[in-house]
Structure 1
């Protein structure tokens, strides 16, 4: 599953329709005392309510092809049921439509919720837009104009009906406040199952795993409030920041004297397969025989490539992790993400076994910060910096029916970024090999990024060819539950690095 821009997905021609949630006539929003998550509040405070394009560089989403005939009534009911199921999609902020409100910098946003029965769905046919390029351009423009954390609905869907093949393409796009990378990955099968149930007149599946994101926010804020300057997670972060003068790490080769937070040019974007399935399986076998998981090999190879390409001794970055601490949130739509710091410093000789063990130790130590809300930690440490360099890894095999998702052309999407100093990598163990997506400043030479990716690929292949030590077989691939609970060598957010305000 690639993580790309909408412009990189070839939408087949067809009849375009937008779908949005609305509040039913006579219905009203109700105040809810549960707070928003810390990162949600920061996201809102960093949003200018007067910005005519609040979604520019900020929305995320998913696109796939539904393997069923299109029926407008069935799809409308599917969208309604989806909003009814997830409380986070029926949540907004008080006064979020007030254009005079510049931000929530000095106040705590008030949560408003509408009842599941009060959601209706409106269709917006776009009859004059039918060709692939025009569909992409129209949707990109619409999402930049209409998606905002300050204005409901925070999610917009689109369908493209393909009459010649009797199926249709589905786009789900949202402001980051109501969707994270794991949500992006699981929404495909959820909407497919809902649509099938509606079409067949069957009851939709109920499950305790569709927990409320508002309940999660309450849990997260209580955990954040318990942090102190001397607790172990905060001390771990302090030691990390002390290594870079109190600032969050950068992808140093991309930082120059002229680097700025915002660029008028969109960032460069790369999405490619680096290893074939055959080569990747050789690597997996080799690192498993050394007692490690693929995630350890990936981060080790990144550190090796960083040194070989640019000469830096340490790879210092932030790593997104999934924070769904209980199974009740396993299938929820929302923003369930924290970040932890990683500092991988390998020995000069880059011995394979030593390097892998160093990385595993680093990743395991980082777990002390798993439940420590990063925004609150930075507040306690007086750090006002923002994430600029992040790495995320996903083994897609932990996701249910991942092969079916691939057959539906499932892609997770990110808006084009205009940052002048951010670099992020998303690495996926896909069904057909190892895939990598990255975005980086337009001022950073693409040839330099190509050199880095080539060295990363080379380092991965070296794991398969190095002499094997005499050790037992290592652990198996972790389950989705293990990933979400933070078990195993590392617990990364599946598919992406969804942070605010970096909008990765």
Structure 2
């Protein structure tokens, strides 16, 4: 599953409708459950008068439903979805920055047919503009849906887009099969599946804020961050490579397959032999590529991780994300074997900050700067039905960003290989990013070369791997899909 812009998702011609949840004002009630630390900080940085509140902020998912379009069944699908997830029925009092929540009894789903717009490219352009205009962290609904009916092929395209405050990357991925199941149930007139794993994001916020309040300034999490920020600033990705450009330009986006499936499986086999996980290899490869292309001592970045503390929130819609620091120090002679060991140690250090709200930690450290360079990793195979998602053309989407200095990379272990997506400032030369991503692929392939190198040619090959002292089954900051934003 690629993580791309909506503009990179080809929409086939069809009939477009926008679907919006509606609630009467009397349905909304004050809710004394807090916002999570990241949610509160995010809303505090939003200008209520911004005419394009969704610009650079929304995230979403697009896929093709493998069934004919039934408007009544789709309306019921969205109603059930909003009824199931309290996080979709909660909002922020813009003046007091407190929570308001509504029950599901009064909820209706309104359809807005968009007449005279059937060309896929024009639909795409229209949707991009509508999402920037209509999605806000301060104004409910925070989620919009669109459908494009394709009568000739008896299927339809679905777009779900939301402000980031009510959706995270894991939610983006799992909602495809959830909506497909709800639609199938609605068409057949069956009740929706019940589960104890659709826990409320607002209930999670209670736990998160209590833990944030209890953070010890001298504890391991704060110490990890303090050491990471010892030079006084957040890491940046090759700032010296940027060129001056006019303000307000959209960031370029790149998505490519770094390793095909055969290459990736050979790498994974080599990693199994030396007891390293693929996530460790990804960060080791990025560190080597960064050293090769930009010099310096390896890689300093932050990593988004999922913070769903137990099964109650396994299938929830919400923003369950923390950020941890990753510092991989390399010297000039470190090869891939050494880089793997350094990366594993760095990810283990990052685990000490996994349960500590990064917003609260930075507050304790009196650091106002926010992360400008981040790396996320997801092994899509942990998602239920991941192979069907590919058949449905499932794509996770992000809004175009206009940041002059942010660089983010998303690495995905997909069913057919390893993919990397990135966005970077308009002033960053595309050929430099291309060279960096190419070096990343070369570093990963070196793992296979190392596994094949005879032991007595270690020095000449520079890649020979030897088993780690202990299995690396706990080297990820969190298991499976945890490393997503």
TM over 0.5: yes
Count, aligned residues = 473
Whole-Å separation in 1 of the counterparts to 2:312 and 2:365: 32
Decide which of 143, 160, 165 is 1:172's aligned counterpart. Answer: 160
Query: Residues 289-328 of structure 1, C-alpha deviation per residue, up to 9 Å, x if partnerless?
Result: 1110111111000000001111121200000111000110
Partner residue of 1:329 out of 300, 313, 329: 313
Are the aligned partners of 2:242 and 2:428 in contact in 1 as well (CA < 8 Å)? no
Matched residue SS, 1:353: helix
Q: Is the 8 A contact 2:224 2:349 kept in 1?
A: no
Distance 1:28 1:398 in 2: 38
Query: Is 2:344 the partner of 1:345?
Result: no
Shift of 1:231: 1.4
**Separation (CA, whole Å) in 2 of partners of 1:497 and 1:387:** 15
After TM superposition, the runs of 4+ consecutive aligned structure 1 residues lying more than 3 A away are 253-259, 468-476, 492-498
Question: For 2:211 and 2:73, how far apart are their aligned partners in 1?
Answer: 41
Measured in 2, the distance between the counterparts of 1:235 and 1:496 equals 21
TM-fit CA distance, 1:496:
8.0
Paired position in structure 1 for 2:459: none
Specify which of 213, 217, 221 is matched with residue 201 of structure 2.
213
Instruction: Tell whether 2:374 aligns with 1:405.
Output: no
Which runs of no fewer than 5 residues in structure 2 stay unpaired?
Answer: 454-463
- 2 CA distance for matches of 1:444 and 1:424? 13
Listed one character per residue, the Cα deviations across residues 59-102 of structure 1 (whole Å, up to 9, x for unaligned) are 000000000110000000000000000001000122x3xxxx5x
Matches within 5 A, 1:256-271: 263-271=247-255
Within-5 A mapping of 1:425-504: 425-466=409-450, 467=453, 469=465, 471=467, 488-491=475-478, 494=481, 498=485
Does residue 389 of the first structure (1) align with residue 373 of the second (2)? yes
User: Any conservation in 1 of the 2:243–2:428 contact (CA below 8 Å)?
Assistant: no
Q: 1:340 to 1:279 in 2, by over 3 A?
A: same
Do the aligned partners of 1:340 and 1:366 also contact (CA within 8 Å) in 2? yes
Aligned-pair CA distance for 1:217: 0.3
Alignment RMSD: 2.0
**Alignment match, 1:484:** none
**Residues in 1 aligned to 2:240 and 2:385: alpha-carbon distance in whole angstroms:** 38
Post-superposition shift, 1:208?
Answer: 0.6
- Structure 1 range deviating more: 273-282 or 349-358: 349-358
Q: Scaled by the length of structure 2, what TM-score is found?
A: 0.94
Which residue matches 2:362? 378
Q: Secondary structure at the match of 1:282?
A: helix
Given candidates 218, 222, 225, the residue that maps to 2:213 is 225
1:163 and 2:151 equivalent? Answer: yes
Query: How far is the alpha carbon of 1:28 from its aligned partner?
Result: 2.1
Question: Which ranges of structure 1 fall in alignment gaps of 5 or more residues?
Answer: 102-106, 479-486, 499-504
**Does the 8 Å contact 1:93/1:150 carry over to 2?**
yes
2:344·2:475 contact (CA, 8 Å) conserved in 1? no
Pair 1:188–1:475, CA change in 2 (3 A) = farther
- CA–CA distance in structure 1, aligned partners of residues 429 and 408 of structure 2: 15
Tell me the equivalent position of 2:295: 311
Query: 2:287, 2:339 within 8 Å by CA — same for their partners in 1?
Result: no
Aligned partner of residue 149 in structure 1, secondary structure:
coil
Alignment partner of 1:119 out of 107, 121, 125: 107
Task: Return closer, same or farther for 1:76/1:473 CA change in 2, 3 Å cut-off.
Answer: farther
Matched with 1:58 is: 57
Which of 120, 124, 136 does residue 132 from structure 1 map onto?
A: 120
Find the aligned partners of 1:66 and 1:371 in 2 and give their Cα distance.
37
2:168 aligned with 1:184: no
Give 2:238's match in structure 1, choosing from 252, 276, 291: 252
C-alpha displacement at 1:473, in angstroms?
A: 12
Equivalence for 1:143? 131
Name the SS for the 1:19 alignment partner: strand
Which secondary structure state, in structure 1, belongs to the residue aligned with residue 218 of structure 2? Answer: coil
Deviations 1:465-494 (A, max 9, x none): 113656499969x8xxxxxxxx55233894
1:10 matches 2:4: no
TM-score, normalised on structure 1? 0.90
Is the contact between residue 197 and residue 316 of structure 2 (CA under 8 Å) also seen in structure 1?
yes
Query: Are the equivalent residues in 1 in contact too, given 2:377–2:411 (CA < 8 A)?
Result: yes
Displacement of 1:497 in angstroms is 5.8
Q: Which residue matches 2:83?
A: 84
